Each structure stands twice: as structure tokens, then as C-alpha cells.
Structure 1
């Protein structure tokens, strides 16, 4: 068994036992490693210590549970191993920056720590060859965009250190909030929207201040005479792109867990192992007309060698 497989095995165990006590010593024994080596290997592959990871996964489950307003907050916390309301509230606020009560009032989008698909870091596929792992189908290929695509939506600055998968922290999900804003107001553009394609665009911000810009919006078929208040325009420019197509069982899973996994695979595994670098820009392209599957694409611009420019 490879080292990563032992950690993957224990991640599955943790996921199945989030409601009870999780012992680091028992996890190490289960995979036949010393506690010292197991903890070092776990942190290296998961980027979190064992008990912190377990806490973050419990909190991620609690976030889902809090959407059920018919249940008491304390009951949901107890379901996932928190011993008291005070203990739970402290952990929740330290992680997300708001209390459980504040979250339930407005249900803002949150970055939660998802179970990693470690095996993806050790599988390399060629262009045009699908990778099937962990409930995701992923295929990477090159595309050339001949004409610009025009989009209208909302844009804001995002702290790099507070945005997963760019960072490793948790908190309010600014891109998610922009999507909520766009979907609440897109009817103002009903006569102008294509309706089939939406994008989330990450592009150059003030890196000295640790921020990038994120845009969320929809493709338009014609420009309105006047933009509704707050809307801005962005373009997906013509050129050569590397495109990662992702398929999943449902749209909600696709745009959360699977998008996170696909991003990490593309930027941490596939691009580096193909000796490719990209411009500080990426686009998540969502297709709203798929009836029998949920799919999307990640578009990045490779930095071309001088002779190809």
C-alpha cells in the first residue's frame, strides 16, 4: 500500500465517525504506522493536523445541518461531537468569523473544508483522456476561442488567504456571495442574457495587498442600452486556453466539492507535471442547459514560450 493510500483509508474512517470520538492513536494503529509518522504524513498530505481536520469536517457538516431551521442549533452540534453550546459556538466563530446564530439568520455562503481526494495527486492523464476518481469525471484539453464572449455581472476583491482552494482558510465565501447577488438580480437583464452560460472569473488584483478580483455573471446576447446599477462588464478574450471539463452527479456537488478537487488537480498536479504555467487568470464556466448531467469547465491561459508568441 502506498503512503497516500493509508491516509486516504483513514480519511474515509474519519468521515464515517464524525459523530463520535476520533483518536489519533487508533487511526495510526489502523494503518500500521507509528503515531509520530502518521501525524507527519497526514499533515503533509491533508495540510491540516488530524484533530483540526476532524473539527473542520464536523463544522462543515454542521453548516449543512443549520439550514434545517426546524432543528435546534445545540442538537445539530451534539450530532457531530461538540460537547456543549459554548464549545461549539467558539469553534464555529473561530473558523467562520460569525456565530451559528448569525449564520442561520442570513445563510451567507461559507468556505468549508471538504474531504480531499488525495488519489488525484498521484494520477496523471494525457490531454483528452478522462480521469474518473472520487465521483468525478475530469478531462483536460486545449481550446482556441475565436471571438470574445461578453458577460455582465458583479465583481469584488477577495482576500487570497481567505479563499479555498487558493488559500487554506475558512470563512465567508465572497465569490459565493457574488453569485447570490447575481442570481437575485439577473432578471434585470432578462432580455439581454444568453441564459445558457455563466462564468466566475478570477483575475489580477492587488497582490501586494493579498487580494484578487472575482467576477460572477452571465453571457449576454446583446448589450443593454444602460447597465442596471452595480452591474459590470467582463470579456473572455480570444486566444488559446487549457480547458478542464468536469462532470458530477448533481449541480450542487459539482460547484462545491468537485470544483475544489478539480482546481487542486489542475493547478497542483497536472500543470506543474506538464511544465506549464498560466497567466494570473482563470474562468469557471457553468452550463445551465444540461439535462442528463451536471458539467462545467475551468479555463486558464497558458504562458506561451517566446517563440510561440
Structure 2
């Protein structure tokens, strides 16, 4: 068994037993590693200490239960291993910046830690060859965009520290909140856009201020003027590397699948191909894709 396989086995066990008591020593013994080596290896491959990861996954599951109006916060706290309402509230606020009570009132979108598929870090697929893992399909290919595409939508500043890497930093999901706002206001654009193609774009990162800009919009067809906060954004012409993602449903596509694909694409595939690209990335969402729920990550290659 490879070392990463041992950690993946432990991660899988944690996921299946989040409502039970889980000790680091028990996990280490289960995968035949010393507690010292297990903890070092776990943190290296999962980017979180063992017990911190368990807490964050429990909080992620608890969020789903908080969306059920007939469940008491205390019952959810005890179900996921927190000794009291107060301990659960403290952990929740430290992680997401709001209390469980505040979440139940407003239901903001939150960044949560997603169960990793460690094996993806050790697989290097060829272009045009699908990778199937955990009901997610990835395929990477090149494409030349002959002319620029124009989109119209909304933009927001996002704090780098609380949003990247996706799924590792917790808190309010600012891009997700922006998409929610855009979908509420986009009816005004109906006669000027192609609703089948939407675009999210991260760009203009400012390391000194610790922010980047995120745009959420839809493909523009023709001219449009508005007194609202809508702006236009361009996907420039050029040569792109594209990571296509398919998932069994839309919610999984824009959360778990996007998280895992992004980590694989930017953390494993692109570095191993020694490719450099312009300082922005785009997410294309297709609402009428023949394959069901799919999207693409686009990065523009530097010549």
C-alpha cells in the first residue's frame, strides 16, 4: 500500500463515521502507521491536522441539518460530536464567522472543507482522456478562441485569505453569494443575452491588499445599457487549456466537483506540464449541455 492510499483509507473511514468518536491513535492503527508518522502524513496530504479536519467535516455536515427547520441546534450539536450547544456555536463561529442561529435566519452560502480524493494528486491524464473518480468526470483539452467573448454581470472584491484554495479556507462564500444575487437580478438582461452560457472569472489579484475580483455573468449578445450595477467583462481571444467537469447533479458540480477539479488542474496537471498562463481563470457553465451537468475551467496559455 502506498502512503497516500493509507491516508485515503483513513479519510474514507472518517467520512463514514462522522457521528462516532474518532481518535487519531485508532486511525493510525487502522492503517498500520505510527501515530507520529500518520499525523505528519495526514497533514501533508490533506492540508489539515487530523482532528481539525474531522471537526471541519462535521461542521460541513451540520450545515445541511441546520437547513432543516424542525431540528434543534442542540440536537445537531450532539449528533456531530459537540458536547454542548455552546461548544458547537463557538466552533461554528470560529470557522464561518457567524453563529448557527445567524445561519438559520439568513442561509448565506459558506465555504466548507470537502472530503479530498488524494489519488488525484498521483494521476496524470493525457489530453483528451477522461478521468473518472467518485462520480466525477474530468477531461482536459486545448482550444483556440478565435475572437473575444463578451459577458455582462456583477463583480465583487474577494479576500484571498478566506477564499483560496477553494474548500480549504472557510467562511462566507463571496463568489457564491454573488451568483445568488446575479440570478435574482438577471431578468433585466433577458433580451440581450444567451442564457445557455454563464461565466465566472477570477482576475486582478492584488497581493498587497489581499483581494481579487470575481465576476459572475452571462454571455452578451448585442448592446445593453443599464442603470444597475451590471458591468461587461471579456474572455479574450487566444489559446486555452480547458478542464471540462461533469457531475451527477448541479449542486455537486459547483461544490465538490469544482473543488476537486480545480485542485487537480492547478495543483497537479498544469505544473507537471510546465505550462504558464495569464493571471486569470474563468469558469464556463452550460445550462443546455447534452452531457447533463457540466462546466469548464479555462486558463489562457502564455506564448
TM-score range, shorter chain: over 0.9
> CA offsets per residue over residues 157-196 of structure 1, 9 Å max, x none?
1111110425832100110110011001011111112010
Counterpart in the other structure of 2:174: 174
State the 1:228 CA deviation.
3.9
| Residue 18 of structure 1: how far off its partner (Å) | 0.5
Give the aligned partner of residue 134 of structure 1: 134
Q: CA RMSD in A?
A: 1.2
Q: Secondary structure at the match of 1:138?
A: strand
Match of 1:232 in 2: 231
SS at match of 2:33: coil
Counterpart Cα distance in 1 of 2:85 and 2:229 = 40
Q: Distance in 1 between matches of 2:166 and 2:58?
A: 22
Contact kept? 1:188, 1:228, Cα under 8 Å: no
Unaligned runs of 5+ in 2: none
SS of the aligned residue for 1:204 comes to: strand
Deviations 1:219-238 (A, max 9, x none): 122222x2241111101111
Secondary structure of the 1:22 match is: coil
- 1:225-270: per-residue Cα shift (whole Å, max 9, x none)? x224111110111111000001111111000010000000011000
Q: Distance in 2 between matches of 1:235 and 1:227?
A: 18
Give the drift of 1:150. Answer: 1.2
- In the alignment, is the contact (CA less than 8 A) between 2:112 and 2:167 conserved in 1? no
Q: Quote the Cα distance in structure 2 between the aligned partners of 1:242 and 1:228.
A: 36
Partner of 2:269 in structure 1?
270
The separation in 2 between residues aligned to 1:292 and 1:238, in whole angstroms, is: 26
Distance 1:62 1:22, change over 3 A: same
> Scaled by the length of structure 1, what TM-score is found?
0.96
Structure 1 residues 254 and 167: CA distance shift in structure 2, 3 A: closer
For 1:31 and 1:297, locate their aligned partners in 2 and report how far apart those are by CA, in whole Å: 36
TM norm structure 2: 0.97
| Number of the residue aligned with 1:105 | 105
- 8 Å Cα contact 2:167/2:259 also seen in 1: no
In the comparison of the two structures, how many residue pairs are matched?
303
Partner of 1:86: 86
Aligned to 1:151: 151
Unaligned ranges ≥5, structure 1: 305-309
Partners in 2 of 1:186 and 1:220 — Cα distance? 12
- More displaced 10-residue stretch of structure 1: 35-44 or 130-139: 130-139
Shift of 1:292: 5.1
**SS of structure 2 residue aligned to 1:13:** helix
Cα deviations by residue, 1:282-305 (Å, 9 ceiling, x for unpaired): 00100011365211000001222x
Q: After the TM superposition, list the runs of 4 or more consecutive aligned residues in structure 1 that deviate by more than 2 angstroms.
A: 164-168
